[in-house]
């Protein structure tokens, strides 16, 4: 194997979280009499953190007079329902276990809320050592800034005199491609997530895997 350190995105890469996100989006919109969205709409909205997700979902975005209330309702509902239908993609759990057995270092970086990120990773992937979510209050900017990747590497104890040569970023979106580039890491783009191959190619993807098991051969 070429890599020994894997930095994973969460939503659309390790976990299929789309239905729970859509349910919470529509619950919040419904409470304020706002139009709801289809699953495909929400698929297009995700990837840049929950605030931007809701800015895309609410008419007029952050300019809507009730936006903050809708956003707060979404956050509360999602924290209570983030495990309703969310599941790892087929083959992910086994692949994570095999990487761990081979001595690889594993971390997750996400634009999801910190509490939700850590809860989901602890629940589904206890072998993953570090989970970093939205953490801007601590001066750590969300993706595509490299901050979460650098923080994950720091917590893994691997940033000493520069980035480890055997580290790779794994994600499913244009944001992930940009995050890897900004972090100075190679990127593996997965084809089972929220974005398709033509979209990923358009945004600069160069290396693809069609199944989680393929990560074990790169």
Active site (catalytic) residues? 9
3-state secondary structure of 152: helix
Report the distance separating Cα 5 and Cα 158, nearest Å. 9
Q: Which residues are paired to 132 by β-bridges?
A: 109
How would you classify the pairing of strands 187-190 and 15-16?
unpaired
Cis upstream peptide for 144 (omega within 30°): yes
Q: CB–CB of 119/18 below 8 Å? A: no
**Residue 199 CB neighbour total at 10 angstroms:** 13
Which residue reads 């086994």 in tokens? 94
Report the distance separating Cα 168 and Cα 195, nearest Å. 19
Tokens of 53: 């997700």
Report the distance separating Cα 66 and Cα 117, nearest Å. 26
Q: What is the rounded (10 degree) CA torsion for 183, 188, 190, 195?
A: 50
Report the distance separating Cα 166 and Cα 179, nearest Å. 17
């Amino acid at each position: 194997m070429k890599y020994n350190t894997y930095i994973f995105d969460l939503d659309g890469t390790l976990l299929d979280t789309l239905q729970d996100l859509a349910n919470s989006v529509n619950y919040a919109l419904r409470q304020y009499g706002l139009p709801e969205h289809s699953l495909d709409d929400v698929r297009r909205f995700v990837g840049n953190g929950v605030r931007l997700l809701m800015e895309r979902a609410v008419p007029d975005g952050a300019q809507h007079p009730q936006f903050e209330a809708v956003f707060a309702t979404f956050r509360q509902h999602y924290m209570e329902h983030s495990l309703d239908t969310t599941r790892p993609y087929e083959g992910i759990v086994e692949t994570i276990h095999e990487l761990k057995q081979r001595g690889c270092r594993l971390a997750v970086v996400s634009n999801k809320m910190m509490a939700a990120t850590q809860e989901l990773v602890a629940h589904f992937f206890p072998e993953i050592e570090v989970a970093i979510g939205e953490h801007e209050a601590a001066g750590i900017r969300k993706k595509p800034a490299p901050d979460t990747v650098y923080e994950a590497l720091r917590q893994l104890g691997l940033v000493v005199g520069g980035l480890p040569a055997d580290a790779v970023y794994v994600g499913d979106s244009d944001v992930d491609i940009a995050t890897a580039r900004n972090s100075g890491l190679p990127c593996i783009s997965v084809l089972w997530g929220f974005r398709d191959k033509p979209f990923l190619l358009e945004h600069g993807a160069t290396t693809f895997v069609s199944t989680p098991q393929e990560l074990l051969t790169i």
